Amino acid sequence: AQGQSPSGTLEDVERHHIVATLERLHWRLEGEAGAAAVLGINASTLRSRMRKLGIQRPGGRVPPPPAAV
């Protein structure tokens, strides 16, 4: 619920904050109104954090892997 602070590890807090932001923005990652911009990080960084924290969009959609350079 809004206004409540999650307890636990830093990863737990980060996971909760990212998921709450994604849900609020209907899982939009990129663009001016996307979660990455709201969180103040690059979209590729957000995807990486989502993979590390095991965050997946409901319905099984997984963020794409970074493009090979």
- Mean pLDDT per 10-residue interval, the chain, length 69 residues: 66 97 96 96 97 89 61
Task: Specify whether the CB–CB gap between 21 and 56 falls below 8 A.
Answer: no
Joined tokens for residue 9: 């590890």
What pLDDT shows up at residue 8?
A: 85
Q: How many CB atoms lie within 10 A of CB 19?
A: 16
What pLDDT shows up at residue 1?
A: 45
Residue in the block written with tokens 């994604």:
22
pTM (global) more than 0.85: no
Task: Specify whether the CB–CB gap between 18 and 39 falls below 8 A.
Answer: yes
